[in-house]
Amino acid sequence: GQQVMQIPQYQHVQEGEDFTTYCNSSTTLSNIQWYKQRPGGHPVFLIQLVKSGEVKKQKRLTFQFGEAKKNSSLHITATQTTDVGTYFCAGPGVAGNMLTFGGGTRLMVKP
Amino acid sequence: DVKVTQSSRYLVKRTGEKVFLECVQDMDHENMFWYRQDPGLGLRLIYFSYDVKMKEKGDIPEGYSVSREKKERFSLILESASTNQTSMYLCASATGAYNEQYFGPGTRLTVT
C-alpha cells in the first residue's frame, strides 16, 4: 500500500536556527496537507498544497510540493519556542477515502 | 467556531471490558474518522465513516468496531479491551475525505 515517510523523526534546534522536515510518498499524490500538534494537544491543519512545484508561505513557514508530486517539505526560518511540536504531512490514500499520515517530525527548540 | 468533542480525556479500563469512545462534531460534516496515535508510529486510521450508518475499515481495524447512527456522532467500540490497545485515540471530521480534518482533543486510554 501507499506509504508516506517523514524525516527526520526528531530534531533539536537552538532558537533562531532554521528547521526543515521532509515528506516522501511511494506514489504520486493529488495533494498534500500539513498539520501541527503541540505537546499535549491535537493535530491542527496548517495548509494544503495541490499543484506540482507549489510553494506557499505562512509567516516564517514555507511549504513546498515537489515537481513530481511525490514529496513535500516544511521549512521554518528562525525557529521560536512557539514552534515546538510535531509536524505531520498527510496525503490521500491509495484505496478508499482517507488520508495517510506520515510518522511526524518532533521539533524541540532550545531557548 | 468549529468543534469536535470527545467523551473523555482520560480513561482507564480493565482487560476484557467493553469500551465506548464517543465523538461529536458540530460542523455538519459528512466524514468522520477514528485514529490511534502511538509514539513513533504517527496517526493510524482505525475506521472512518462517510455518511450515517456507513463505515469503512482503515489501516488497523482489528479489535475495533464503530457506530454512526447520527451525522454528528461517531462512536468507537473496543469489544474486549486488551493491553495493546492502550493508546491515544483521536477523532476527526471533514467535509470531504481528502479535505482539511478537524481533530478532537483526544482520549488517552489505558488498559490494565
Q: How many helices (H) and strands (E) does chain A have?
A: 0, 11
Q: What is the dihedral of CA A92, A88, B92, B107, to 10 degrees?
A: 140
> What nine digits make up the cell of A10?
526528531
Pick the CATH number of B4-97 from 2.60.40.10, 3.40.720.10, 3.40.120.10, 3.40.50.1860: 2.60.40.10
Strand partners, A44: A36
Q: What pLDDT shows up at residue A94?
A: 63
Q: What pLDDT shows up at residue A26?
A: 87
Per-residue pLDDT tens digits for B58-105:
989 999 999 999 999 999 999 999 999 999 999 999 998 788 999 999
Q: Which residues of B touch A31 (CB under 8 A)?
A: 98
Omega before A8 cis (within 30°)?
A: yes
Question: How close A78 gets to chain B, by Cα (Å)?
Answer: 26
Q: What pLDDT shows up at residue A97?
A: 61
Tell me what the pLDDT averaged over chain A comes to: 93
Per-residue pLDDT of chain A (111 residues; tens, 9 = 90+): 558 899 999 999 999 999 999 999 988 999 999 999 999 999 999 999 999 999 999 999 999 999 999 999 999 999 999 999 999 999 987 655 688 899 999 999 999
Nearest to A88 among B40, B42, B105 (CB): B42
Per-residue pLDDT tens digits for A47-77:
999 999 999 999 999 999 999 999 999 999 9
Strands A10-14 and A105-110: parallel
B53 confidence band (pLDDT: 50, 70, 90)? very high
Q: What is the dihedral of CA B87, A24, A41, B61, to 10 degrees?
A: -30
Q: What is the CATH number of the domain that holds A53?
A: 2.60.40.10
- Could you tell me the residue range of the domain that residue A79 belongs to? 4-110
Instruction: Provide the number of structural domains found in chain A.
Output: 1
Delimit the domains of chain B by residue range: 4-97
B19 confidence band (pLDDT: 50, 70, 90)? very high
Nearest to A33 among B40, B50, B100 (CB): B100
Q: Which residues of A touch B31 (CB under 8 A)?
A: 97
Q: Are A100 and A93 in contact (CB under 8 A)?
A: yes
